[in-house]
Amino acid sequence: MTAEIITIGDEILIGQIVDTNSAWIAEQLNLNGIEIYQITSVHDSREHITEALKNAESRVDFVIITGGLGPTRDDITKAALCDFFNTKLVFHEPTFQHIKQMFTLRNFDFNKLNQGQAMLPEICEVLPNKMGTAPGMWFAKNGTVFISVPGVPSEMKYLVETEIMHRLRLYAKKEAIFHKTVLTQGLPESTLALKIEDWENMLPKNIKLAYLPDIMSVKLRLSAYGTDEAILRKNVDDEIGKLIQLIPDNIYGFDNDTLAKVIGRLLNDKCKTLSIAESCTGGYVSHQITSVQGCSGYFKGSVIAYSNSIKQSVLGVNTELLEKYGAVSEQAAKEMATGARNVFNTDFALATTGIAGPGGGSEEKPVGMVWIAVADESNVFTAKFQFGNGSREKNIIRSGQTAMQLLRRVILKELQ
Amino acid sequence: MTAEIITIGDEILIGQIVDTNSAWIAEQLNLNGIEIYQITSVHDSREHITEALKNAESRVDFVIITGGLGPTRDDITKAALCDFFNTKLVFHEPTFQHIKQMFTLRNFDFNKLNQGQAMLPEICEVLPNKMGTAPGMWFAKNGTVFISVPGVPSEMKYLVETEIMHRLRLYAKKEAIFHKTVLTQGLPESTLALKIEDWENMLPKNIKLAYLPDIMSVKLRLSAYGTDEAILRKNVDDEIGKLIQLIPDNIYGFDNDTLAKVIGRLLNDKCKTLSIAESCTGGYVSHQITSVQGCSGYFKGSVIAYSNSIKQSVLGVNTELLEKYGAVSEQAAKEMATGARNVFNTDFALATTGIAGPGGGSEEKPVGMVWIAVADESNVFTAKFQFGNGSREKNIIRSGQTAMQLLRRVILKELQ
């Protein structure tokens, strides 16, 4: 089975936004055994869209169309779809009610433009979009399926995950495929590759390995192809068992886990609580931890201590220590963690202090240097890292991810 | 003048990498008056590449081709180019010497794969690539120019900047283009569109408007086309002047601004300081504020107060008030802002308290409800919002962006 992706919107063609939707859709389809033949980005132009639809129709089984479904006049995907399928827009009552309800909930005025979003091509099957006002649309023509979804990533993902993928799988499913992703942190891609080289070379022929690197985290996706999913699952789990022995300190989870989710599960299971004192990470770690639903069960709070006076007055960091060793030091990190643990009265406390840059570095303490501390009931674990002189954003993310990895390992008593 | 971009490589079509090259090239060309008609991503397939080249040739003046120039067997762009231009590969001595020199410098073994990179299509003009082993190539056919560059972003950018752009400009510079983006917050796209409908209808014919929506923020891009950039800039600024009068409360900046950057500039200019007390936004606002370089000049710190006891012990929120009105209330938001302003000793303090979901809502206080407070030296401004029952992530982002917008307006004394 093959597919094409057509993304619609001038903002892509003038380079104002990077098309991340296509990569995400391509990955999802690929994981489900559907090969992407081509990705085409076209203008908000009726003629251009229909031309692209016509070309794709002759080549593939599925065409996924994103974008151009907003309420304003530059959004003309529906008009182009009507041209292409020789149909017209008709009023769709359930969509109308849904949009009206969304607006009522948010106390926004419901106007004629929103009402226009309930006008949909007569021949399409409507895919309800709980996350927004523009529904997805499903069309079939001459043996090719066309699916139109909004360009807003969260809405596109919602529709693909809940309304589209299980139906595409029905078409595509002839062979069994099983994927599992191993999440690692703390090793650059090339170092990781060398560490697991022999394992990789010994993988069975029907298991493929993909490296998916990211800032300070590398995901390893194993894809097994065969005829029986249960057997594939066992094969993959066996190989992952061997992998864990090679890099035990670096694997923090699987598939859709995040470090924050894993930490949340551990704290929940152990009925333990957490607080955080952030300096250089400036709220990034707290934001990650509180992005997990139900975090109020174990997370009590944080102090973002950007100025030294706050480190002293709120966290009770020893003034003399700060003066002697500076705010970016093992002593300061340790005091911040202990201080947070006391102030918030928690079982664990995490602290970060470092130089995110681009300014503020020195020869002794260069940009990218960070101290991390984790306090538990008996001890404070500390470690120093040097994240190079990349961007401020990268230094914040790397420091934060590393801090969460250390916290996870202290909770597991792997570090102390 | 129009162009197309063709990106070559299976890694894009399986979703392993996001195609950031196209957005960068599109932006560069657009800024120089060349409109991108289409972006097409194709496989490492000789037939597919030539098909894409043929289609593009009939439509545009320039075709920029990236990728597929590496030394390994899956890189077959050159073979496809030879098919398309009916030419053959010949040995190119200067390229050979350059590759050899690069390998000597890095102490790498020079092998036959690398030697193959010096074989180039006979009819092309070679564009030397100081950054890598694969040179760029320039072809002309039937009035269309075809330019091939490597897919490695740093090499692609080097070639576009040093070898390609000045030549494209010679062709293109007949017309002038000027873009400016207006950043708005607080109005959904459809409400915004109605508010500015008359203005949009009265825009001069040579100015185009695009809506670029995002979670809780809509960007409006004005693009003016003409012969004199200075005049276009004035035309656009005149129109923006009228727009500001229509939605004065919602515009927070232009082009690459963010709310956090704008707030930082305002605080810097006025020599004022900021602290934050976050409950439902859980560190998101602090992370935004501290993502701006130089923020330590005005940002002192935050308390993320997830539990009531912290609101009381660290921020000094009145226990009776919390019990009477609950943690999600105007009174709590007000006390949190005042408490943060006192604890951190700052000019301004921002507070958020609400229900991010998905759990924790009630009929009286549903998921998505949030109270925001901004304290300054004389007053505490408060406002309540209801962000519907979207995802936890959306509720956090919407609450945080709205909080920053209110903070900006209090700093400007537009609200009090």
Q: Is A179 helix (H, G, I), strand (E, B) or coil?
A: strand
Confidence class for position B294, pLDDT limits 50, 70, 90? very high
- In sequence order, the β-bridge partners of residue A384 are A371
Mean pLDDT value across residues B289-307: 95
Distance CA B129, CA A240 (A): 42
Residue in A5, A33, A26 with CA at minimum distance from that of residue A168:
A33
pTM: 0.82
Residues from chain B contacting residue A220 (CB–CB below 8 Å): none
Residue A15 to residue B38, Cβ atoms within 8 A = no
DSSP A108: P
DSSP B73-121: TT--HHHHHHHHHT--EEE-HHHHHHHHHHHHHHTPPP-HHHHHTTEEE
* Predicted local confidence at residue B385, as pLDDT: 95
A328 and A308 Cβ atoms separated by less than 8 Å: no
Q: How far apart are CA A24 and CA A4, in angstroms?
A: 13
CA distances for B228 relative to B166, B173, B234, angstroms: 19, 11, 10
Bridge partners for B3 per DSSP: B36, B62
Tokens of A243: 């992998």
Residue B153 DSSP SS3: helix
Strand partners, B42: A38, B8
Task: Tell me what ipTM this predicted complex has.
Answer: 0.81
- Average pLDDT value over all residues in chain B: 92
Residue whose C-alpha is closest to residue B372's, from B387, B389, B361? B387
As a whole number of angstroms, the distance between CA B374 and CA B352 comes to 9
- The alpha helices in A106-188, defined as continuous H runs, are 112-116, 153-159, 165-172
Position A151 scores a pLDDT of 93
**CA proximity to B284, closest of A289, A88, A11:** A289
Cβ contact B193–A23 (<8 Å): no
Long-range contact set of residues A164-168: C-beta below 8 Å, sequence gap at least 24: A164/A127, A164/A136, A164/A138, A165/A28, A165/A32, A168/A29, A168/A32, A168/A34, A168/A62
Give mean pLDDT, residues B185-205.
Answer: 93
Nearest-Cα distance to chain A for B117, in Å, is: 24
Q: Which of A28, A99, A110, A302 to mutate against chain B (most B CBs within 10 Å)?
A: A302
Residues in chain A within 8 Å Cβ distance of B12: 22-23, 26, 39
Q: What average pLDDT does this structure show over B155-166? A: 94
In angstroms, what is the C-alpha Rg of chain B?
28
Asked if B392 lies within 8 A of A72 by C-beta distance, the reply is no
Which residues of chain A make contact with B43, given a CB cutoff of 8 A? 37-38
Q: A117: which chain B residues are within 8 Å (Cβ-Cβ)?
A: 190
Domains with residue ranges and CATH for chain B: 2-172 (3.40.980.10), 176-254 (3.30.70.2860), 260-411 (3.90.950.20)
Q: Is the peptide bond before A366 cis (omega within 30 degrees of 0)?
A: no
The secondary structure element, H or E, covering residue B239 is: helix B229-246
Q: According to the model, what pLDDT value does residue B37 have?
A: 96
More confident residue, B166 or A292: A292
Tokens in use for A128? Answer: 């309800």
Alpha helices in A345-415, H assignment, sequence order: 392-411
- Per DSSP bridges, beta strands B144-149 and B207-214 are unpaired
Measured CA to CA, the distance from residue B393 to residue A230 in angstroms comes to: 34
Mean pLDDT of B370-397: 93
What's the pLDDT band for B108 if we cut at 50, 70, 90? low
Which pLDDT does position A173 carry in this prediction?
A: 64
Closest CB to B193: pick one of A113, A285, A299. Answer: A113
A193 in Cβ contact with A58 (< 8 Å): no
Cα A193 to Cα A196: distance, rounded to the nearest angstrom? 5
Residue type, B200: E
- Nearest CB to A212; choose among B16, B295, B296: B16
pLDDT tens for the 416 residues of chain A, in order: 899 999 999 889 988 889 999 999 999 998 888 989 999 999 999 999 999 999 999 999 999 999 999 887 778 999 999 999 999 999 999 999 999 888 887 777 777 777 889 999 999 999 999 999 999 999 998 889 999 999 999 999 999 999 999 999 888 766 788 889 999 998 877 788 889 999 999 999 999 888 777 776 888 989 898 889 899 999 999 999 999 999 999 999 998 899 999 999 999 999 999 999 999 999 999 999 999 999 999 999 999 998 888 899 899 999 899 999 999 999 999 999 999 999 999 999 999 999 998 988 898 999 999 999 999 999 999 999 998 766 898 899 999 999 999 999 999 999 98
Q: Which helix (H) or strand (E) holds A194?
A: helix A189-195
What is the rounded distance in angstroms from the CA atom of residue B369 to the CA atom of residue B391? 13
Determine how β-strand B299-305 pairs with β-strand A299-305: antiparallel
Determine if residue A40 is left, alpha or beta; phi over 0 gives left, psi from -120 to 50 gives alpha, anything else beta. beta
The three-state secondary structure class of A92 is: coil
